[in-house]
Amino acid sequence: MTDATTTEICDRPERVRVWDIWVRLFHWLLVTCIAIAAVTGFVLDASWIALHIVAGLSVVALVVARVIWGFLGPTHARFTDFLRRPAVVFFHLTGKESGRYLGHNPAGGVMMLGLIGIVLTLGVTGLAGLGGALRTGPLLSLPYPVGAAGLEIHEALAVFLLAMIFAHIAAAILESRYSRENLVLSMLTGTKESRPGDHTGHPERARPLLALMLILGLAATAILLLPNGRQTPIGVPVAELDASFVDECSACHLAYHPSLLTGAEWRALMAGLEDHYGEDASLDAETTARITDWLVAHDAATAQTRPARMFAGTLGTSAVSMTESRAWNHLHQDVREEIFLRAPVYSKSNCSACHSDAETGWFSPFHIQIPKEPSK
């Protein structure tokens, strides 16, 4: 084998098409979309969520299209070309079986299958998190715990995907050195040099028209069948705010939504207005009672939103204020400390400086806008 390639290298070797244009487009679009999803998910703050979702859904759409192409594409695009029995994979990995594969080698085939599986699971868990925890998207009425679990799995799988991508790149580089060719370049040009003894695979004709029809059919089904996210989910924060609550509380600060704290926390807070975070905010007994009742009636137990589940119950145990809680600080770790101190935010308690929907209790990542440096 090695001898054969050495002699071949002297003359200009014949190049054959291995990766068709759709496989290559898929590959590099996938790289782009996963890169965007990874950067917006791991590096940038929550205000990038819309781009993250667009990139993630694009990844899912690309992979679904690639699966169809795996049944209807040309020779090396097909699953039958690169998915092999475990024994073959084992022999390939242990070096008991050698030979150059023009398409994916048996280990690469396993990687393909793994990437497809993990990317689709990332899509499902992401939508579950979007629905259960953020109460929007096609799964908007999932119970909060399901959404929260979805997000946990989503994060763990994303880390795992990065590891797989690293392994994939390492394998491509190692394999390139081993077989003395540029596999990355081949994914750009689509061609590889033909060598004697190559596993060339069973030739298959592509069925592009059928594939296109299937992909369009699936896209139409998805658009028609999936809820469009405009209906009202269950477990949302009360929308109509009590007038005296708004008048009295927002005299000094934004009217913190009742769904942010438990009923017990509201009672304790309203019973201590004489020393309310370092100031006297006392009200007459009647107003205090009326506002307290309203707060308790719409407390965290009535909402399945993320702030309701993350902040409620933290007062008096681990923190005096919500901004001192572990959950709050974890969520705001990407925001530089001085942003909270300078104009126009001034204080960590001034949620609405960045969360335009703060008074609704939603705190949706779609409504975060961190103010720019004041121009002055």
Partner 1 sequence: MKYLLILPLCLLAPPLAAQSTTPADLIANYAAEAGVAASAERGQALFTASHTGGKPDTPSCTTCHGADPRAGGLARTGKPIEPLAPSANPERLTDLKFVEKWFGRNCNSVLGRDCTSAEKADVIAWLASL
Q: Interface with partner 1 by CB under 8 A: which residues?
A: 243, 246-247, 250-254, 274-275, 278-282, 344-347, 349-350, 353
**Which CB sits closer to partner 1, 168 or 253?**
253
Least Cβ distance, residue 271 to partner 1 (angstroms): 16
**Which CB sits closer to partner 1, 279 or 334?**
279
Least Cβ distance, residue 110 to partner 1 (angstroms): 55
Least Cβ distance, residue 261 to partner 1 (angstroms): 17
Name, in order, each residue with C-beta under 8 angstroms of 376's C-beta and a sequence gap of 6 or more: none
**Which CB sits closer to partner 1, 222 or 246?**
246
**Which CB sits closer to partner 1, 152 or 274?**
274
**Which CB sits closer to partner 1, 224 or 251?**
251
Least Cβ distance, residue 247 to partner 1 (angstroms): 6
Least Cβ distance, residue 296 to partner 1 (angstroms): 23
Least Cβ distance, residue 283 to partner 1 (angstroms): 8
**Which CB sits closer to partner 1, 11 or 284?**
284
**Which CB sits closer to partner 1, 107 or 345?**
345
Least Cβ distance, residue 258 to partner 1 (angstroms): 18
